[in-house]
Chains A and B, each alone.
Chain A
Amino acid sequence: MQRAYIRAQMGEGLFTFFRAVVIILSLLFVIVPLVWLFINSIKMPLEWLSIPPVIIPSKITFENYIQLFTNPYSDVLLCLKNSIIITLAATTLSVLIGSLAAYSLTHLQLPFKIVPVLAGMVLLLGFYPKITAVIPYFVIMRNLGLMDTQIAIIIAFVGLNLPRTVWLMMTFYEELPKEIEQSAMLDGCGPWGRFYKIVLPLAAPGMAVAAILSALLCWIEFMIASSLAIVNAKTLPIAVSAYLQDKGMHWGPMSALGTLTVVPVIFFCIFVQKYLVRGLTFGAIKE
Chain B
Amino acid sequence: MAKRNPFLSETILLLLFLVPLLLVLATTDLYPLAFSTYLSTTSWSLIDRGASAHWVGLSNFQNVLRDTIFLDSFRTSLKFSLGATAAELILGLIIAYMVVGESKTMRVVRTILLIPMFIPGVVVGTMWRMMLNVNAGIANYLLSKVGIPPLSWFSAPGTALPSTILVDIWYSTPFVMIILVAGITTLPANPVRAAMVDGASRWQIFRYIMLPLLAPIITVAALFRFIGSFFVLDHIYTTTYGGPGFMTNVMSFHLYRQGLSHFKLSYVAAASWLMIGFSLIVIVVLTAIRRLLERSAATG
Contact surface of A with B, Cβ cutoff 8 Å: 8, 11-12, 15, 19, 22-23, 26-27, 29-34, 36-37, 40, 48-53, 55, 96-98, 100-101, 103-105, 107-110, 122, 125, 127-140, 143, 155-156, 158-160, 162-163, 166, 190-192, 195, 216, 219-223, 226-227, 236-237, 240-241, 243-244, 251, 254-255, 258, 261-262, 265-266, 268-270, 273, 276-277, 280-281, 284-285, 287
Identify which of B57-65, B154-162, B216-224 touches chain A.
B216-224
Query: Is the pair B175, A280 in contact by a Cβ cutoff of 8 Å?
Result: yes
Expressed in whole angstroms, the minimum distance between the Cβ of A197 and any Cβ of chain B is 15
Does B255 touch A at the CB level, under 8 Å? yes
Query: Is the pair B28, A132 in contact by a Cβ cutoff of 8 Å?
Result: no
Q: A132-B272, A159-B25, A222-B237 are in contact. Are A240 and B231 (CB under 8 A)?
A: no
Interface residues on B, range: 35 or more
Query: For the complex, would chain B's binding face be called helix, strand, loop or mixed by DSSP majority?
Result: helix
Expressed in whole angstroms, the minimum distance between the Cβ of B16 and any Cβ of chain A is 8
Q: A241 contacts which chain B residues (CB < 8 A)?
A: 122, 126, 237-238
Q: B32 contacts which chain A residues (CB < 8 A)?
A: 132-133, 136-137, 140
Query: Is the pair A131, B231 in contact by a Cβ cutoff of 8 Å?
Result: yes
Query: Is the pair A155, B27 in contact by a Cβ cutoff of 8 Å?
Result: yes
Q: A32 contacts which chain B residues (CB < 8 A)?
A: 138
Q: A131-B231, A131-B272 are in contact. Are A261 and B130 (CB under 8 A)?
A: no
Does B170 touch A at the CB level, under 8 Å? yes
Does B99 touch A at the CB level, under 8 Å? yes
Selected from A140, A216, A254, the residue in CB contact (under 8 A) with B35 is A140
Q: A143 contacts which chain B residues (CB < 8 A)?
A: 49
Query: Is the pair A280, B268 in contact by a Cβ cutoff of 8 Å?
Result: no
Expressed in whole angstroms, the minimum distance between the Cβ of B259 and any Cβ of chain A is 5
Query: Is the pair A135, B11 in contact by a Cβ cutoff of 8 Å?
Result: no
Mask of B169-206 contacts with A, CB within 8 angstroms, 1/0: 01000110011011100100000000000000110000
Q: A244-B238, A280-B179 are in contact. Are A262 and B119 (CB under 8 A)?
A: yes
Chain B 27-80 interface residues, beta-carbon cutoff 8 Å to A = 27-29, 31-33, 35-36, 39, 46, 49
Instruction: Give Cα A15–Cα B94 distance, bound, in whole angstroms.
Output: 12
Expressed in whole angstroms, the minimum distance between the Cβ of B104 and any Cβ of chain A is 12
Does B233 touch A at the CB level, under 8 Å? yes
What residue of chain A has the Cβ atom nearest to residue B237's Cβ?
Answer: A241
Q: B135 contacts which chain A residues (CB < 8 A)?
A: 49, 51
Query: Is the pair B178, A132 in contact by a Cβ cutoff of 8 Å?
Result: no
Query: Is the pair B18, A105 in contact by a Cβ cutoff of 8 Å?
Result: yes
Instruction: Give Cα A135–Cα B267 distance, bound, in whole angstroms.
Output: 11
Query: Is the pair A127, B14 in contact by a Cβ cutoff of 8 Å?
Result: no
Q: A30 contacts which chain B residues (CB < 8 A)?
A: 112-113, 115-116, 170, 174
Query: Is the pair B20, A222 in contact by a Cβ cutoff of 8 Å?
Result: no
Does B212 touch A at the CB level, under 8 Å? no
Selected from A108, A128, A162, the residue in CB contact (under 8 A) with B11 is A108
Instruction: Give Cα A195–Cα B138 distance, bound, in whole angstroms.
Output: 55
Does B2 touch A at the CB level, under 8 Å? no
Selected from B137, B237, B259, B276, the residue in CB contact (under 8 A) with A128 is B276
Contact surface of B with A, Cβ cutoff 8 Å: 7, 10-11, 13-15, 17-18, 20-21, 24-25, 27-29, 31-33, 35-36, 39, 46, 49, 94-95, 98-99, 107, 109-116, 118-123, 126-131, 135-138, 141, 144, 170, 174-175, 178-179, 181-183, 186, 201-202, 216-217, 220-221, 224, 227, 230-231, 233-234, 237-238, 252, 255-256, 259-260, 265, 268-269, 272-273, 275-276, 279, 283, 290
Instruction: Give Cα A101–Cα B231 distance, bound, in whole angstroms.
Output: 28
Query: For the complex, would chain A's binding face be called helix, strand, loop or mixed by DSSP majority?
Result: helix
Q: A51 contacts which chain B residues (CB < 8 A)?
A: 135-136
20 contacts between A and B (CB under 8 A): A31-B112, A53-B141, A97-B21, A105-B18, A129-B231, A129-B275, A132-B272, A134-B259, A139-B46, A163-B25, A221-B120, A240-B122, A240-B123, A240-B238, A244-B126, A254-B130, A262-B119, A265-B115, A284-B179, A287-B220
Q: B113 contacts which chain A residues (CB < 8 A)?
A: 26-27, 30
Selected from B111, B233, B283, the residue in CB contact (under 8 A) with A273 is B111
Expressed in whole angstroms, the minimum distance between the Cβ of B40 and any Cβ of chain A is 10
Most buried by A among B31, B119, B128, B290: B119
Q: B17 contacts which chain A residues (CB < 8 A)?
A: 100-101, 103-104, 191, 195
Query: Is the pair A262, B123 in contact by a Cβ cutoff of 8 Å?
Result: yes
Instruction: Give Cα A191–Cα B11 distance, bound, in whole angstroms.
Output: 9
Query: Is the pair A109, B11 in contact by a Cβ cutoff of 8 Å?
Result: yes
Q: A31-B112, A136-B35, A216-B118 are in contact. Are A110 and B25 (CB under 8 A)?
A: no
Instruction: Give Cα A236–Cα B121 distance, bound, in whole angstroms.
Output: 11
Query: Is the pair B21, A122 in contact by a Cβ cutoff of 8 Å?
Result: yes
